Each structure stands twice: as structure tokens, then as C-alpha cells.
């Protein structure tokens, strides 16, 4: 893919030429099981009476008193797999098959009321020893954003919140190794890489590229 005349993946190509390995993350999950305790039948209907009973039973549950009977609903059962780096993974399934629950479990955003069993690991580290929020992001089907901001302003704001990350350090090391190896990068490529590593700008090339892709998709 290109942005104007500049290849988007040129940073990867030039990094390989000078021997720089880009950081990657692999997510593995083994025998992942997620269960929920819920009411069934007429007790599960969203009525005013049931809501009041749920509040009362929740308060009594804090004291160790269990009045209502709940059934165990298995959402995911012994699910295993891996999300490998530099690959696009497509998750397909019928409605109510647990797709959203699986993604939430992998992103570390599972509801605390749900029971999770099994292992989820990022680069071999258990989910409890890793901070998935720095690596993974779950995007809900319902867009929640500031209504007064345009799409471009929202994307720019998100990019500024994330910062440039390791791009600046990568670019510095890349420039040093290119100089030692006698490699002269193409002016357009060098300008593009520096522009995507700038910090504190109101608009970014990533935003413009995303909007262009969405427009012509």
C-alpha cells in the first residue's frame, strides 16, 4: 500500500536491511473457559420486580446470604488457539457463539462477574503478569466517542494519547545503522518515517491515511 508515492511498509523494509528486528507480540490461549451465573425462565425477564429482587439479593449476597437460584451458563469451553504477529486473524461464528467474550478475554477486559479458567499469555507471560492495555485494544460494535468531535479530530486525539511510542527510538537507531552501512534512504521514505515519528502535532499522517482508506473502501 502507498500513501501518495511513499510506501507505508517502507520502515519495515529499511529496518530489515540494517538488521533491526521490530518488536512483535504473540497471544496464545489454551483451554479457555468462561462461565456466567444467571437467572433463567421468568426470573430472567427485565421487569421492575426482578430488578428490585436482583438488588436485594445482591445486597444480601455481600453478607453471605444466597436466596435466588441461578444456573451456570457456559459461554466458552476449552477454547485454544493463537494470534500470531504480522498476520490478520478473522474470527467467524454464529450469533451468541461467544465471539465478543473471547475478544474481551484476550484483551483483558472480561467482566469481573464472569468465571474464567484456562490460560491467556502474551509472549509467554500470563495475563496477570502483562499489561494488555499497552498492546491490545478492544473496539466495541457501539462507537463511544465525543459527539462534538469530527472523525478526523477523534483519530488525531487517539493518536496523540498513544504517543509515538518506540518509533522515535527506532528511527534514531535506524539512522545510525544506515550511516554506518553507507545506506542513503530515499528522500520521500526518510521524510515519511520522520513525519510519522513526530510528537505533539495536531494532525498525523496515520489519520489522513486511515481516512483515505475508509473513503475509498
- Give yes or no for residue 34 having a pLDDT over 90: yes
Percent of the chain having pLDDT more than 70?
67
Domain boundaries, the chain: 2-18+145-216, 27-131
b/e map 79-100, b = 16+ CB within 10 Å: beeebeeeeeeeeeeeeeebee
What is the arithmetic mean of pLDDT over 162-184? 70
- Give yes or no for residue 8 having a pLDDT over 50: no
pLDDT at 16: 53
Phi, psi angles (nearest 5°) of residue 70? -125, 150
Query: Which has the closest alpha carbon to 28: 149, 118, 138, 117?
Result: 118
DSSP string, 72-93: EEEEEEEEEEEE-TT-------
| Residue appearing with cell numbers 529496518 | 15
SS3 content of the chain, % helix, strand, coil (to 5): 40, 20, 40
User: Exposed, middle or buried, 42 (CB in 10 Å: 0-12/13-18/19+)?
Assistant: exposed
pLDDT at 29: 93
Beta bridge partners of 73: 36
Q: Which residues contact 98 (CB under 8 A, 6 or more apart)?
A: 34, 75, 76, 79
**69 vs 31: which has the higher pLDDT:** 31
pLDDT at 165: 54
Alpha carbon distance 89, 83 (integer Å): 7
Amino acid at each position: 500500500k502507498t500513501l501518495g508515492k511513499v510506501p507505508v511498509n517502507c520502515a519495515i523494509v529499511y529496518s530489515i536491511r540494517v538488521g533491526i528486528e521490530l518488536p512483535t507480540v504473540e497471544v496464545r490461549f489454551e483451554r479457555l473457559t468462561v462461565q456466567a451465573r444467571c437467572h433463567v425462565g421468568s426470573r430472567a425477564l427485565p421487569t421492575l420486580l426482578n430488578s428490585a429482587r436482583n438488588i436485594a439479593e445482591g445486597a444480601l449476597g455481600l453478607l453471605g446470604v444466597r436466596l435466588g437460584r441461578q444456573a451456570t451458563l457456559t459461554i466458552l469451553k476449552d477454547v485454544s488457539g493463537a494470534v500470531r504477529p504480522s498476520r490478520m486473524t478473522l474470527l467467524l461464528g454464529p450469533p451468541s457463539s461467544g465471539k465478543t467474550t473471547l475478544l474481551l478475554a484476550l484483551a483483558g477486559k472480561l467482566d469481573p462477574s464472569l468465571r474464567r479458567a484456562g490460560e491467556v499469555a502474551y509472549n509467554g507471560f500470563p495475563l496477570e503478569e502483562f499489561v494488555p492495555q499497552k498492546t491490545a485494544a478492544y473496539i466495541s460494535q457501539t462507537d463511544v466517542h465525543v459527539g462534538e468531535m469530527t472523525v478526523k479530530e477523534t483519530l488525531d486525539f487517539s493518536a496523540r494519547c498513544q504517543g509515538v511510542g518506540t518509533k522515535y527510538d527506532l528511527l534514531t537507531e535506524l539512522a545510525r545503522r544506515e550511516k554506518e552501512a553507507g545506506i542513503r534512504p530515499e528522500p520521500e521514505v526518510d521524510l515519511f518515517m520522520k513525519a510519522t515519528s513526530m510528537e505533539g502535532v495536531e494532525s498525523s499522517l496515520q489519520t489522513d491515511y486511515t481516512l483515505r482508506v475508509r473513503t475509498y473502501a
